[in-house]
A = this chain, B = another copy of it.
Amino acid sequence: MAEKDICEIVYVHEDEVNKIKSKMLEDEFLFEVSDNFKVFGDSTRLKILYALSQKDLCVCDLAAVLDMSQSAISHQLRVLRSKNLVKFRKEGKMACYFLADEHVVAMIELGVEHTKEKL
Contact A41 B51 (CB under 8 A): no
Query: When the two chains form their complex, are residues B47 and A112 in contact, meaning their CB atoms are under 8 A apart?
Result: no
Asked whether A87 is an interface residue with its Cβ less than 8 Å from the other chain, the reply is: no
Interface size bucket, A side? 35 or more
Within 96-119 of A, Cβ neighbours of B (below 8 Å) are at: 103, 106-108, 110-112, 114-115, 117-118
**Which of B35, B68, B117 is A41 in contact with, Cβ under 8 Å?**
B35
Interface set of A (CB-CB < 8 Å, partner B): 1-4, 7-8, 11-13, 16-17, 19-21, 23-25, 27, 29-43, 45-47, 50-51, 54-55, 57, 60-61, 63-65, 67-70, 84, 103, 106-108, 110-112, 114-115, 117-118
